[in-house]
Every structure is written in structure tokens, then in C-alpha cells.
Structure 1
Amino acid sequence: MALFSLGYFEIFLAIICFFYLRNLRSFKRLAWKLPILGTFPYLIMNIHRIHDKCAEVLEKTRGTYHLKGPSFANMDILGTVDPANVHYIMSSNFVNFPKGPEFKKIFEVLGDGIFNSDLDLWKCQRKLARALLNHQSFHKFLVSTSWNKVEKGLIPILDYVAKQGLMVDLQDVFQRLTFDTTCKFVTGYDPGCLSIDFPGVPFSKAMDEVEEAIFMRHILPEIVLKLERWLGIGQEKKLSKSWKILDEVICKYISVKQEELKKGTKSTNDEEGFDLLTSYINLGDNEITTGLKRDDKFLRDTIINFMIAGRDTTSSALTWFIWLVSTHPTVLNKIREELKSVIQVNEEAENFRLFKVDELKNLVYIHAALCESMRLYPPVPFQHKFPLQPDTLPSGHRVHPKIKVIFSLYAMGRMKFIWGKDSWEFKPERWISERGTIKHEPSYKFLAFNAGPRTCLGKEVAFTQMKAVAAAMIHNYNVEMVEGHPVVPNLSVILYMKHGLKVRVSKRWA
């Protein structure tokens, strides 16, 4: 995202910072921290490539760097990708590093949902979510929904653009696919966004704008954000409008579902009745639900947390994965050979085919390639913590309640001291053991699915969806990048491609 996409105040502030730096006698003599402004001017000038800049700085500082913002803005940040620090914060001293009030302030649109909550409220929500996501009936619902969306949503679009010779933005296609499936998983309703006419999706657009605004809340001082809200400008203005759209749509889903269940028009005896909203509404009083206020706000917060988790992370991972595989022919051919290995002897290997979940779950190379893609391009590129009490990290750095500790997952995947000299290369083989099985990498080294007590509950859901889509596309189609199309990360709490993924698709089989 260029500076032009920031609010007027941010542009003005960036210009001031530029002239401040320009008037220094020598740019080469620039220290990391400037009087009064701290490291903020350097941050603003590199905002367009913040992920790669973090990787460069953290590599030079052996994984940990103290960023000091303007003295008047309370922007004390410790950036770290040191696995020892990550393990200490996420696992061994987890209780001293909750999400905390500052996190909740930044992500306030998520309400009291599972990603924002701490302590007993978080424990209750996590137990409940785990029980529902691991339920056999939900798994069947997940498998059938994923299969139907690939067969009846994705394939018709790919066939159409291939036949017409059209350019298509696969990032948009994947966002529509995961938006439809996540809506179905969570609410029981399929909005039908994945169709040939590519209808407008206000809810999806609103989610994108909310996430971009949340990203800027990590970067800009609180005083700037307050001024934006007061003047009604910039990202805070977009956030306010988009928030209302999300609430309106979610409230509609809740009221319609409640009315259906009340009238008995919605069955809970077949797979259509096992969406999460139905399950949450039908919850009885038991040991797990004790302490949860199960009102409409609880349902609203739960839905939006699941929607962001399901729609955004999976579509981001698919976008980067397909780009990486299509630009690495050797990897592409190995995945195709592996897919052939599950086709029965009496079947024609060179023919259109969709793969069942059970056929894909034990495939090693495609799993390794997905992990490798998320190592380099994690769907959530960073996260942060605030310590409750002063503490000393294993790296020797002191932290306190007013310092924000940020993990750059994007940078972590590129650290040579963690992954070796080839850390910037796309090599699925690094995930395969000598025995030919998936090599386990500790979560504090590969943080794509979080670590410690907050490890992602939807990991298997994500892999199920990604493998179904990836196998269908790789076996049945060729994907070719549009010449000259730039591929760079955006600026958001979800790592998308700034300009989308523009490609042309052709069928492999007649």
C-alpha cells in the first residue's frame, strides 16, 4: 500500500519526516533513532515494504530489535523472531503475555471473541470451539461443503475463463471461495459469491478495509488515530463504515437463524444442521458453557472471529501457494506425480478428476509444499503481545507493560540463522524427513498456526480446504502468470497480494 492510501494526516506526517531526514548532513550517518521522533521517520519511509524491511533489520540484529517511536506517542516496540523468545512468550511464560487491553483496543471490531479474549473467558470459548470443530458431524459437513464448492463453484469458473481465454484474479476467486465456504461452515448459508458473474460482496470488501485499518493501528501513534476519528478521515473513517456493514450482515444471519430454529423450519438432524451458528444457539447449560453470556452479542462476536479466521487466512495461503507452485515447475511436476499415485490402476490418469479428502490427507509432498508456502508467506504476517509484569526474555532484552512485543512471522521464515542459507528459497523438501514423512518443525519456529495454548484450532480445517482446492487446480489446469504483473505483499493484518494474482488458465485435459 502506497502512502497515498493513508489518511491526510499520515501523508502530512510522512512529508515532515522526509524533510527531516533530507536535511540531515549525511543519510549514511543516520542513526536508527532520531531525537524526539525516534525510529518513526524510518518506519514511515519504509512503510511500502515494511515486511521485507523487518526481515533485513532482524537478520542484522540476530532476531531482535528495539524500535523506539516518538517520545510523545508511547510507541515502544520490541520486534523479535528469536525462537527462544517466541517459545518463552507463547508457551513457558504464557500467563505473563496475554492479549491484554491494548490488543483488544486495536482489534475492537472483534469484540469479546476468542481472538480478543483472555483468562477464563478465553478458556471457556476455546473449550467450546474445540468441541464443536472436532465433532464428527461438523467434519462431515466440512468435507461435503468443501467438495461441493470446488465442484460446483471453482471448476465452472476455471472452465469458463479457460474457454474464453480470459485473465482472472485468482486471489479474488479464492477469497470468494473461502467466503462462501466459511459462511456455510459458520452460519449455514452460502452467499453464492463464487459464480461466473463475480457479484459484488460488500461484506467481503468491508472485511478487507477493517483489516487494513487494524494494520495502521499497529503503525500509527494513538494521537494520530484519535485525530482521524475526530476529523472523520483516513483509515479510521473506513473502519467505522465497514464495521457497520459487518454488524448489519451478521445480525441478519443471527435473526434469520433464530427464527428458523424457533419455527422448526431448520433441521438439525442432517448435515445441513451442523453449522456453528446453529450449534451455538442450541447450546445447553453444561460445564463448558458456564461463564459464557450466550446472547446476541456473544453470537455476533463469535461469528466475526470465525469469519476472519476461515475466510482470510485460507484464501491468503492458497493465493501465495498457487503462485509459488506455478512459478516453480519442478515443484509443480512433483505434486502432479504424487497426485497420480493415488489414482487407481483402472482409471485414466490423464483425465479430469477431483480428489476426495481421504485420498489427500496422507500425501506428503503437497503437504510439505503448503507448509513451505506458509513459511515464506504466512497468512497472518505478524502478531503482538504486552507483558503484564516486567520480564527478561531469553535473548537478554528487558520488557515491561508499556512495551509492545511484535513477532514478524514473515521475517521469521526468512531468517538464515533459523532456516539456513537458503531461507529465502521455496523448497518443500525441507519439510520431508529421510524416511519420506513430514518433518515436524516446532511451532515457535514455524508460527503460521500460532504456538502454545493458543495454537490454531482450525489447522485441520484449513489443510482440508487447501488440499482440495490445490489438488483440483494442479491436476486439471495450467496456471500462467500475466506477463509483467507485480507480485508484492499488501499492508494488512492478513498477507494478501497488493495487486491480486492475475493469471490465465488453460485445461490440461480435453
Structure 2
Amino acid sequence: MGIVRARRQSASVSVDQSQRDDVLSRFVASAEHSDEALRDIMLSFLIAGRETTSSALTWFFWLLSTSRPAMTARVLAEVRAARASTGTRPGLPLGFDALRGMHYLHAALTESMRLYPPALLDSQSCAADDTLPDGTRVGKGWSVTYSAYAMGWLSAIWGDDCAEFRPERMCLGKEMAYVQMKPVVASVLEEFVVDVRKEVAGGGVPEHVLSVTLRMKGGLPVQVRRREQDGSAE
């Protein structure tokens, strides 16, 4: 609350707000939210967005780097098509409409998060006595937890090829996370080739860190090379 009130006070006395382009300053400038609402919004960003996006992108780049050049080329083709249609050069941000039009990248990110979901567990509190679709009874006040990670690897849901990374199986999903992740992938793949270090690439699936988010232990050691305009790498 102290941060929210300080930012609101700063906005009321400062003439030049050009240096204040963060999320909180934008909400304060709209004058549509109470201090309590802004506090809740900021807590949501800090808690839900602290590691989820970076965790999802870490696993995504690892999947692309493990002998999937055709998929990388297809994502890169979408990025270049978006550049051509919008007339923007590499290094400049792509607009929301251009990012939304990258359907294969959207599917690839979704498939990556099926196998390695950033939030691997989800818990809910039961507001009233109820019965789940499979007939399981849950009582008022019970806590119910399900594993998104386990569900993503169930052959009963995804078929016998459930362990394969296959973006073609995916449909559209959550918007906000994709708006964050797409520009990162687009900007990185457009200008760089990301190669996982040999000691990681040859050692199977990297070790998980089971916390609130599904992180990769020790991060992802990579070698980054600048990409030439014809798609090859220097």
C-alpha cells in the first residue's frame, strides 16, 4: 500500500511523467482504481508473474534446441512474415495484432506448457458441498489440488504420443502469458541461434525444481550465436 500511495502522490505533483511507463503508473494515471484495488493488482502481478513466464520460456527454448530445427524455422518464418506485413525492422517491438497472428508460435508455446507447465499444481477451496464429474464427493471447506504436470503426460487424455512435443495438437489458450512470451521468442529467434550446452543436451530431461512454479534446476546453460539474415548463424 505504501508503494501505491507513493506512486499516486508522485503522479499528482510531477509535471513530467514520461519516465514513468511501468504498469503501476499506467493504472494510477487512469484514476479508475482505488488504492486497495491497485494493491491487489500489483500483488497478482508479483505473485503470478514472478517466475511463471521465465520458467515457461526456459523449457520452451530447451525443447526447440533439442534437434527441432524444422519447428524453429517455422516459428522464425512467422516472425519474418509479421515483420514484412507490419513494416517493422528487427529489434523493434511487434504490435499486439502481429503477435496474435503468430498461430504456430502460439501452439508451440501451449504444447511446451502442456509438458512443462509453469504452475504445476493448482489448489482450490470448495465453497459448498459438490460432486465432481467422475462422481467424487467434495465437502464444503475442503481443499482440492490437481496436478497440471501429471495431466499433461496422461495418455488417456493426449494419446500414446503424449510424451512428444507436437505443437500441431494445440488450440488457443490464455492470452496474457502469450502476449509476454511471444515477443521474447520472436526477438530472440529472429536475431540469435540458441544452442543448449552439450552437457545438458545429451543428459536427457533437465532436473526439475518442484516449487510453486516448475523451474529448471540451475537454469538452462546455452550458447547464443547471432543469426545471419539468410537464417544461418555466424
Query: Structure 1 length as normaliser, TM-score?
Result: 0.39
CA contact (8 A) 1:355 1:471 kept: no
2:175 aligned with 1:466: no
Give the direction of change, closer, same or farther, for the CA distance of 1:506–1:382 in structure 2 (3 Å limit): same
Q: SS where residue 341 of structure 1 aligns?
A: helix
Q: 1:352 to 1:265 in 2, by over 3 A?
A: closer
Note the C-alpha offset of 1:312. Answer: 2.3
Call closer, same or farther: CA 1:273–1:389 in 2, change over 3 Å: same
Find the aligned partners of 2:16 and 2:176 in 1 and give their Cα distance: 24
Kindly indicate whether structure 1 or structure 2 has the higher relative contact order, using CA contacts under 8 Å at least 6 residues apart: 1
Residue of structure 1 equivalent to 2:7: 257
Number of residue pairs matched by the alignment: 221
Does the 8 A contact of 1:257 with 1:278 survive in 2?
A: no
Match 1:422 to one of 161, 176, 179: 161
Q: Sequence identity of aligned pairs in percent?
A: 38
Rounded to whole Å, the distance in 2 between the matches of 1:409 and 1:282 is 36
Cα deviations across residues 39-70 of structure 1 (Å, max 9, x unaligned)?
xxxxxxxxxxxxxxxxxxxxxxxxxxxxxxxx
Cα distance change on mapping 1:281 and 1:342 into 2, 3 Å: closer
Which of 77, 80, 88 is matched with 1:337 structurally?
77
Q: Does 1:311 align with 2:50?
A: yes
Q: 1:191: which partner in 2? A: none
* 1:387–1:333 Cα change, 3 Å: same
Q: What's the offset of the Cα at 1:393? A: 1.6
Inter-CA distance 470–258: structure 2 relative to 1 (3 Å threshold): same
Are residues 1:279 and 2:41 paired? no
Aligned equivalents of 1:398, 1:310: Cα separation in 2: 33
After the TM superposition, which residues 164-175 of structure 1 pair with which residues of structure 2 at under 5 Å, given as runs? none
**What's 2:231 paired with?**
none
In structure 1, the partner of 2:94 is 356
Deviations 1:256-299 (A, max 9, x none): 413312323454xx794673355358645xxxx7xxxx45x654
Q: Secondary structure at the match of 1:490?
A: strand
Residue pairs, 1:104-123, within 5 angstroms: none
- Give the CA deviation at 1:463: 1.6
Is the 2:83–2:90 Cα contact (8 Å) retained in structure 1? Answer: no
Find out whether 1:481 has 2:209 as its counterpart.
no
Is residue 320 of structure 1 aligned with residue 72 of structure 2? Answer: no
Between structures 1 and 2, the one with greater helix share: 1
Question: Following TM superposition, by how much is the alpha carbon of 1:500 offset from its aligned partner in structure 2, in angstroms?
Answer: 0.8
TM-score by length of 2: 0.79
Q: Is the 8 A contact 1:335 1:365 kept in 2?
A: yes
For residues 226-305 of structure 1, the aligned pairs below 5 Å read 251=2, 253-265=3-15, 267=17, 272=20, 275-277=23-25, 279-280=27-28, 283=31, 294-295=34-35, 299-305=38-44
**Bigger CA radius of gyration:** 1
**Aligned residues of 1:277 and 1:303 also touching (Cα < 8 A):** no
Higher share in strand = 2
Q: 2:123 aligned with 1:384, yes or no?
A: yes
How far did residue 336 of structure 1 move?
Answer: 2.3
Distance 1:302 1:473 in 2: 29
Query: Unaligned regions of 5+ residues in structure 1, if any?
Result: 1-249, 432-438, 441-448, 450-458
Q: Which runs of 5+ in 2 are unaligned?
A: 229-233
- Shift of the 461–389 alpha-carbon distance from structure 1 to 2, 3 Å rule, reads closer
CA distance in 2 between counterparts of 1:366 and 1:388 reads 38
Distance 2:150 2:71 in 1: 23
Partner Cα distance (2:118, 2:190) in 1:
24
- In 2: Cα distance, 1:478 partner to 1:278 partner: 35
> What amino acid sits opposite 2:52 in the alignment?
T
SS of match in other structure, 2:79: helix
The equivalent residue for 1:408 is 147
Partner Cα distance (1:508, 1:303) in 2 = 37
**Distance in 2, Cα, partners of 1:492 & 1:336:** 32
Task: Output the CA distance in 2 between the equivalents of 1:502 and 1:361.
Answer: 30
> Could you tell me how far apart the structure 2 residues matched to 1:353 and 1:388 are?
48
